[in-house]
Amino acid sequence: MMATASKLKISDAGAMAELKKRASSLGIGFLGVAPKSVDGKIVNIVPKEVAEKHRMTAFAEDGKTVKVAMVDPGNSDALNVLRFIASRENIEIETYLVSEETFADLLNFYIGPTEMVREAVKSFKAGELEEGNLKEADDTRKREDILKDAPVTKLVQVIISHAIEGNASDIHIEPMESNYRVRFRVDGILHLSLILPKEIGPVVISRIKILASLKIEEKRKPQDGRFRFQYEGKNIDLRVSTLPVLTGEKVELRILDKEEGLTSTENLGLLGSAAENILLALKETYGMILLTGPTGSGKSTTLYALLKILNNEERNIITLEDPIEYNLEGLNQSQIKPEIGYTFASGLRTVLRQDPNVIMVGEIRDGETAELAVHAALTGHLMFST
């Protein structure tokens, strides 16, 4: 039976020789000692949760080739994850065998948001910027000026940047009894990212409300807005929603990467028969394609990617959305407004009079919309929805 790195102690010379021999037999490299430093951009190519689950992590790059250390290079699940990452990031991956000890050292290069926020929080001088200070400001403009130049700006940038690096779809900032909890949604699952001191949480939320052009003094009712965030030369749109709760004010940010550019089934993680089936379905001129899954699992991303594939001068593609998350050139995108009676059902009736080839309904929320969607799919239209 072939020994795995987890059963060997790298401190033993014989074990090191055995690991080198195994790496050679597998035709891969061997990493005996962790490097002194690893660039944060490189290490985050493999998210920390994935690294811990599959015992692998990126540690170096050479051009477009990223070197990944693995405790078990024969793990088929881990290899499938690496193939997906390579396709998504448009990189080549070169694997190296490591011991558990070296892998543990490599994990230390993950700089979590807690560490980054700790540094940012240090810049808050005692009592310099707390919620009470904002209340004492005599007008809204003065409060906005205080927040604009305060260390809170750096703190908000750190939180958003780390969420983007971790491929999060949503950021939740929630007031608790004694602190504020920040969670990121990654692949449909919420993960605790960091804890903010009670006195800093409201200031962070006020800064986000200013960025989204919301009223910072209004905390009694929900507000919605959006703003654009610059990250490594890319424009990232963030949709903001606030909600008054028992312990204060909660804010949720949906991350919308307009430059994601997912136009292939490989980039969506669809491989083999799954990719073949979806491509065959896209060739149909009528019928319905439904995408299901939990919040943040990639339904909207997949819908937009499929519409990008179909988008050409020969097709009239109309979408009904609430809200419009991405603006795609060539598509006729319509914003649903239930408050004035413009619902998915009423919108779908109108769309059917617009000579569409392809229709996308952001969400089927009721029986009437479902009935109309099925009717459209059976009468010569290719229908997409969730």
pLDDT in tens, 274-309: 888 888 999 999 999 999 888 777 788 888 889 989
Res 265: pLDDT: 63
Radius of gyration of the chain (CA): 25
DSSP string for 66-131 = EEEEES-TT-HHHHHHHHHHHHHHT-EEEEEE--HHHHHHHHTT---HHHHHHHHHHTS-TTTS-H
Q: Which CATH superfamily is domain 265-385 in?
A: P-loop containing nucleotide triphosphate hydrolases (3.40.50.300)
Tokens of 259: 């430059």
Do 15-108 and 265-385 show the same overall fold? no
226: Cβ contacts below 8 Å, ≥ 6 apart:
212, 237, 238, 239, 240
Which amino acid does the sequence have at 192? Answer: L
**If DSSP codes are grouped into helix, strand and coil, which group holds residue 227?**
strand
Question: What is the pTM (predicted TM-score) of this model?
Answer: 0.60
Res 126: pLDDT: 41
Q: Which CATH superfamily is domain 15-108 in?
A: Type II secretion system, protein E, N-terminal domain (3.30.300.160)
Distances (CA, A) of 235 to 186, 240, 258, 320: 20, 16, 7, 24
Check residue 337 and give left, alpha or beta (phi > 0: left; psi -120 to 50: alpha): beta
Torsion sign over Cα 263, 266, 271, 272: positive
Distance CA 57, CA 85 (A): 12
Q: Name the β-bridge partners of 242.
A: 223, 251
Residue ranges of the chain whose pLDDT lies below 50 = 1-10, 125-127, 261
Residue 114 φ then ψ, to 5°: -60, -45
Distance CA 243, CA 209 (A): 12
Give the architecture-level CATH label for domain 113-131+140-256: 2-Layer Sandwich (3.30)
Q: Where are the domains of the chain?
A: 15-108, 113-131+140-256, 265-385
Percent with pLDDT over 70 in the chain? 84
